[in-house]
Structure 1
Amino acid sequence: MDYCLNGSCIVLKRFVVLVLCLLAVLTSCGQAGNQGELKKVGLLITDSVNDQAWGTKGYKGLLKIQSRFNVDVYYKEGMNSKSVVERAVKEYSQKGVNLIYGHGHEYDEYFSELSPKYPDIHFITFNGDAKNKNVTSLILDSYASGFFAGMVAGHMTKSNRIGIIPAYEWQPEVKGFYEGVKYQNKNAQLNIQYVNDFDDKEKALQIANDMIANQYDILYPAGDSFSVPVIERVKEMGLYAIGYVSDQSDLGNKTVLTSTIQEVDKLYENTAEKFNLGQLESGNITYDFQSDIISIGTFSPIIEQDFIDEINQSIQKYKETGELPNE
């Protein structure tokens, strides 16, 4: 019902319509949201976004998505059990999130059970086996990066003792590192001790201290949260390390010989783009050197240039042919 005073109803109505139109234009200009399928994005992390390795990479990827697609993003730390993950997914669903990243292989099991309950959400996890239609598992095949880093370690060791401190036995970069060391230096003695947790810094440091005491002069701490503290300990002792996930040369380029890198932040942006376009496949998708997601980090200036050139040539050959130096 229209209420008019002094016969001005038509003029007033036109004025109101004009004001509403202007407000609509201004609102759309100031809040231009994404026009594709991507609405809101959630991230679940087992430990912290401040670990300077795996967790930090995931957080950077989330920020890239926010910047590029102008959508709301959310993250939760300490998501390390089924019950907390269930609550987080329910909360994200209520917020209108339609793309959730579980930042680690742990979420493969959780998402396998939860995804049928949330058909309007697409779930992404890592190094798992996705079987449901709204789940994608990103397989990071880092065997080759481990192999090339192992070659570096085998070349640079002085004591012929190299220690590997992985989180789990299944990590492909660990097997690759072992094979790379053996290819480069048949006299090298390797010691592998598993932490059985990506975030147990105390146990990883204890293993590192034992290895250092037994004259292991190069350590490869392949774990999300413990790579940095182990490298810092190695640096204190004047020894060498191989970085993990990020280019960790900034911790000391005369300590960190190179790093096995996983460009997870780039992968976040890539998968979000595909989802936005309706092109993200369910199931398992594998990434290696050829995708520029897996790579080797900065080489230490203490490594001879001739050897660096040799490694770079081997990497280029692998990209082109898929063949490693021992094949």
Structure 2
Amino acid sequence: MKRRTLLGSAAALVAAMAAPAFGQDEKLKIGFIYVGPVGDGGWTYQHDLARQAVEKEFGDKVETTFIESVPEGADAERALTQLALAGNKMIFATSFGFMDATLNVAKKFPDIKFEHATGYKRAENVATYDARFYEGRAVIGTIAGRMTKSNKIGYIGSFPIPEVVQGINSAYIHAKKVNPNVEMKVVWVYSWFDPAKEADAAAALIAEGVDVFMQHTDSTAPLAKAQEAGALGFGQASDMTSFAPSPRISSIVDNWSPYYIKRVGQVLDGTWKSEATWAGIGDGEVVIGDITEAVPAEVKAEAETLRDKIAKGEYHPFTGPLKKQDGSDWLAEGATATDEELSGMNFYVEGITAPMPQ
């Protein structure tokens, strides 16, 4: 065979290997499972906005479907299997508690690409993606520390996993930086989305004198309770603008659209691979929502300066000196926490008096 023919054959092989995973006339079917309803106004709502962004970006190249309000556990495995059997070649599992179910189903369907939100277990066909929510908590913690009149701020926690503990610690550290007299009260609801429990948690915090609180739960029920009591709060996962300018004085917005569009594009062009992604403010995945006029201009400017420093990599929210709740040393002066340390965080920082759930 002539050299030119050999080169031509090699080029054809490379081109074939780089060819899109799907033909022009074949739609990529993509499934999503959500832990809450799409109308929760928070976490699931934001994931569904990202699903819609995928449809807008790729048009008739894709076809999406979703199953909402899927409990974590056995129900998640059934829902994932249902999506797999329906012909979806890419599936987004959008809650931490879907982790083991995703791994189990992925083993049975090795030709399907799975994306698991906020998890840490991967496989050849399972990727994980997360957001550095603790960066946003530093910003709203600063606002909370400035805005409290009772010097008591609160936090409604979902489950005591590292992601949530990071947020509590970050919010407290930065509230304390601007208000040395601040105290933090924590209430756990052991649910991502349960409006009744979330409202009760908000009421419990308010009864303890808390006048500004944050949440790592998905409904707007805490803000409704804050509105009744004259307390202040923050939007969680989405802007929750229906409660602005007060009690919702700012928010943390989860912007999943760029990631979803990128990963779907990689499946379409055949470049998708299993990897772990942890993006933050600088990547545009964690967004600080509008800071309303209920917040004084100087406090707003302080918060925005902190946001920008984090985005540029000039400041890490977990920078020493910091001690653990029991008084033992954690981070020395100027030292910053590693991703490995943060991924396993199971302790409160010094100053938080609430017991850490086991």
TM-score, with length taken from structure 1: 0.83
Aligned match of 1:154? 145
Aligned match of 2:76? 85
Q: CA deviation at 1:132?
A: 0.6
Q: CA deviation at 1:36?
A: 9.5
Q: Is residue 50–residue 257 contact of structure 2 (8 Å, CA) maintained in 1?
A: yes
Count of paired positions: 293
Separation of aligned partners in 1, 2:72 and 2:235? 28
Q: 2:122 aligned with 1:131, yes or no?
A: yes
Q: 2:208 aligned with 1:217, yes or no?
A: no
Q: 2:57 aligned with 1:57, yes or no?
A: no
Q: Is residue 196–residue 221 contact of structure 2 (8 Å, CA) maintained in 1?
A: no
Q: Is residue 80–residue 102 contact of structure 2 (8 Å, CA) maintained in 1?
A: no
- Alignment CA distance shift 1:83-1:231 (3 Å): same
2:176 pairs, out of 179, 182, 187, with: 182
Q: Is residue 193–residue 217 contact of structure 2 (8 Å, CA) maintained in 1?
A: yes
Aligned match of 2:200? 206
- Alignment CA distance shift 1:310-1:105 (3 Å): same
Unpaired runs of 5+ residues, structure 1, are 1-32
Moved more, 97-106 or 87-96: 87-96
Amino acid at match of 2:200: Q
Moved more, 92-101 or 34-43: 34-43
Q: CA deviation at 1:292?
A: 0.4
Q: CA deviation at 1:162?
A: 0.7
Amino acid at match of 2:300: I
Q: CA deviation at 1:83?
A: 3.5
Q: 2:162 aligned with 1:168, yes or no?
A: no
Q: CA deviation at 1:34?
A: 7.3
1:288 pairs, out of 280, 283, 286, with: 280
- Alignment CA distance shift 1:97-1:317 (3 Å): same
Moved more, 191-200 or 279-288: 279-288
Superposed, 1:168-317 pairs within 5 Å as 168-169=159-160, 170=162, 171=164, 172-225=166-219, 228-317=220-309
Q: Is residue 39–residue 72 contact of structure 1 (8 Å, CA) maintained in 2?
A: yes
Q: CA deviation at 1:37?
A: 8.8
Which of the pair has more CA radius of gyration? 1
- Alignment CA distance shift 1:146-1:89 (3 Å): same
Separation of aligned partners in 2, 1:36 and 1:302? 53
- Alignment CA distance shift 1:153-1:38 (3 Å): farther
Deviation by residue 1:254-289 (Cα, 9 ceiling, x = unmatched): 211211221124432232223323333313111111
Unpaired runs of 5+ residues, structure 2, are 1-21, 320-333, 335-358
1:106 is paired with a residue whose SS is: helix
Q: CA deviation at 1:51?
A: 0.2
Q: CA deviation at 1:304?
A: 1.8
Amino acid at match of 2:186: I
Runs (4+) off by over 6 Å: none
Q: CA deviation at 1:197?
A: 1.1
Moved more, 117-126 or 250-259: 250-259
- Alignment CA distance shift 1:289-1:37 (3 Å): farther
Q: 2:108 aligned with 1:117, yes or no?
A: yes
TM-score, with length taken from structure 2: 0.76
Separation of aligned partners in 1, 2:311 and 2:27? 32
Deviation by residue 1:272-323 (Cα, 9 ceiling, x = unmatched): 2233233333131111111100121110202222222222222222222341
2:188 is paired with a residue whose SS is: coil
Amino acid at match of 1:125: H
Q: Is residue 260–residue 297 contact of structure 1 (8 Å, CA) maintained in 2?
A: yes
Q: Percent identity?
A: 21
- CA RMSD, aligned part only? 2.1
Separation of aligned partners in 1, 2:39 and 2:23? 28
Separation of aligned partners in 1, 2:72 and 2:296? 46
Separation of aligned partners in 2, 1:200 and 1:37? 40
Q: Is residue 105–residue 127 contact of structure 1 (8 Å, CA) maintained in 2?
A: yes
